[in-house]
Amino acid sequence: MRDEPLVLGIETSCDETGIGIVRGHTLLADAIASSVDEHARFGGVVPEVASRAHLEALVPTMQRALDTAGVTLADIDAIAVTSGPGLAGALLVGVAAAKGYALAAEKPIYGVNHLAAHVAVDTLEHGPLPAPAVAMLVSGGHSSLLLVDDLTAGVTPLGATIDDAAGEAFDKVARLLGLGFPGGPVIDRTARDGDHASIAFPRGLTAPKDQAEHRFDFSFSGLKTAVARWVEARERAGEPVPVADVSASFQEAVCDVLTAKAIDACRSNGVDTLVIGGGVAANSRLRVLAEQRAAKYGITVRVPRPQLCTDNGAMVAALGSHLVAAGVAPSRLDLPADSSMSLTAVSVPG
Amino acid sequence: MLVLALDTATPASTAALVEVTADGLFGVVEQRTVDPRAHGEKLAPEIAAALAEAGVRPRDLGAIVAGLGPGPFTGLRVGLATAASMGQALGIATYGVCSLDALGRAAGPGRVLVATDARRREVYYATYQDGERVSGPDVDKPAAVSVESVERACGEGALKYGDVFGVPVEEHLLHPPGAALVAIAAQRIREAAPSEILTPLYLRRPDAVEPSARKPVLT
Ligand SMILES: [Zn+2]
């Protein structure tokens, strides 16, 4: 092995087939095939459609990644693959393929945690992560606050959504407003022409009574229903729906809660670095609000560029590279796809 | 040439090594685990064990043959993803074979029904005359499968719904044998036919419904 390991990452936990290649902490390739268009008419990701698409996309996406990086599978030092959490059938395609590559090329394999990989990817762009740090991961599949001490040893969950994920709320509200799927980018765009203070939508789990049990948890289901009620009342009254104002006010409610809780998590843990990842991290309002609030308390906000925020193989390769460097033992060939994988272990123990 | 055969179209995860020569086939080793929920965990260790048992390394393989199903989707994809990735890593050809055909071929002479469990009280099935498929593959309720002039049946679906089919079941032939998969692809292997993309025989569309009109939330 050279001084910097060449690590391949495979990600298939949702609707993106991602293959990433890193050397040490340098990104060499990040190939993606997405089945998002196939899910659009269903208004959300259909697991079987995603699984079929992964199987079709894997080999060509791998080839693109290898060609881009200018390496072959024989050059690779280790293979990392998302073991969970995610859609069971989708994960299994990536895990099976990773095992095939590992077996054939006689390389070690690491089954890794998807959420920890979302955190690890930031080190490709912004260097080593100060310890401890707080990570907020927000996407269509997850909304979590994590305390990260040593990325290779384990991550402590502080809170998570108790119902819808943040990105899911964007999808549902976009559908309600007839804006299409996925909801995140289109609401972000639509909201630019609206007034975010025009409608006071509820902020889930922020009441004083929620502090004891749900201080760092999220809830977006009530918000989504409140938006639906507000829109419907307008329609029933025969009045036009101010789509831009509704979008902006909804987005503000989501971003307000997310950033308030993330900053609270940093302050209560004496942490001065906040990493934001997941597809919703691309939201322009979230970034602005996070920066503003963090600045007040001397907290640094780190957000990877949008392509690295959404699900990708680079993040898995990045985490794999940390594990190899830390001398963590590889997983075994019977490693499972674990749709509800916990964060107690960052990788499947060997 | 040493050929790896993989099949995960039934509750069995099968990995076999078969030597293909100009005029024959020699089964070297076969590893099999029967567990409908564990293809993802069992198959790769089985391949490693088969290679170790035969005393060969992955680079000694000349081709890979994989059962394309039909079969329960999640497990089926494990075999195909593994075969495709190994083929790519080794730079060797992959060939697809209908998994039911392997059972039909192994069943030998006569009119044979091959049926495997498709869940939801249905079977994947096809009929064979002297090892050659004459109808199917298809998916349906056992009662809807024609057994006209069928002499015998094989496959775990035939065992499960034996009382519905009412024909003798070959209980030793429940899962696709690796050697039969290779036998069906033998000509392609000997001719060094172009590698094939391994596309599953799904036979069913994904369960997905387009959302209906918005439900009112105001009451
Ligand atoms: Zn994700």
CB nearest A233 (choices: B41, B207, B218): B218
Q: For position A1, what pLDDT does the model report?
A: 47
Binary contact (B82, A100; C-beta < 8 A): yes
Q: If you average pLDDT over every residue of chain A, what do you get? A: 95
Q: For position B212, what pLDDT does the model report?
A: 66
* Amino acid symbol at A50: A
| Arithmetic mean of pLDDT, A256-273 | 97
| Arithmetic mean of pLDDT, A80-104 | 98
B128 close to B114: Cβ distance less than 8 angstroms: yes
Contacting B residues, span 152-211, partner chain A, CB-CB under 8 Å = 197, 199-200, 202, 206-211
Quick: pLDDT tens for B171-217.
999 999 999 999 999 999 999 999 999 999 999 999 877 766 667 77
Which residue carries 């001719």 as its tokens?
A: B191
Quick: pLDDT tens for A126-163.
999 999 999 999 998 889 999 999 999 889 999 999 99
- Is the complex ipTM higher than 0.85? yes
**Which candidate, B117, B96, B101, B84, places its Cα nearest to that of B10?**
B117
Is a pLDDT exceeding 70 seen at residue A2? no
| Arithmetic mean of pLDDT, A169-198 | 95
Binary contact (A97, B43; C-beta < 8 A): no
CATH of domain B100-165: 3.30.420.40
Which residue of chain A comes nearest to B86, CA vs CA? A100
Cis ω for the linkage preceding B137 (within 30 of 0): yes
Is a pLDDT exceeding 80 seen at residue B89? yes
Quick: pLDDT tens for B104-140.
999 999 999 999 999 999 999 999 999 999 999 999 9
How far apart, in whole angstroms, are the C-alpha atoms of residue B74 and residue A144? 28
Cis ω for the linkage preceding B70 (within 30 of 0): yes
Domains B2-99+177-190 and B100-165 share a fold: yes
Quick: pLDDT tens for B160-169.
999 999 999 9
CB nearest B210 (choices: A41, A56, A96): A41
How far apart, in whole angstroms, are the C-alpha atoms of residue B46 and residue B51? 9
User: What is the end-to-end Cα distance of chain A in Å, rounded?
Assistant: 20
CB nearest B84 (choices: A41, A59, A333): A59
Q: Are strands B61-67 and B2-7 parallel, antiparallel or unpaired?
A: parallel
Q: For position A279, what pLDDT does the model report?
A: 92
Quick: pLDDT tens for A283-342.
999 999 999 999 999 999 999 999 999 999 999 999 999 999 999 999 999 999 999 998
Percentage, residues of chain B above pLDDT 70: 96
Q: If you average pLDDT over every residue of chain B, what do you get? A: 95
Going by pLDDT thresholds of 50, 70 and 90, the confidence category of residue A44 is confident
Number of Cβ pairs closer than 8 Å across A and B? 125
Q: Which of B8, B43, B217 to mutate to test the interface with A (most CBs of A within 10 A)?
A: B217
DSSP A80-116: EEEEESS-HHHHHHHHHHHHHHHHHHT--EEEEEHHH
Is a pLDDT exceeding 80 seen at residue A229? yes
pTM of the predicted model, to two decimals?
A: 0.95
- The rounded Å distance from CA A139 to ligand 1 centre is 6
The three-state secondary structure class of A147 is strand
- The rounded Å distance from CA B136 to ligand 1 centre is 41
Q: For position B214, what pLDDT does the model report?
A: 67
Chain A residues with beta carbon closer than 8 angstroms to that of B48: 103, 333
B99 close to B67: Cβ distance less than 8 angstroms: yes
Phi, psi values for residue B113, rounded to 5°: -95, 130
Quick: pLDDT tens for A240-257.
999 999 999 999 999 999
Q: Could you state, in order of their start, the residue ranges of all structural domains in chain B?
A: 2-99+177-190, 100-165
Tell me the fold of B2-99+177-190: Nucleotidyltransferase; domain 5 (3.30.420)
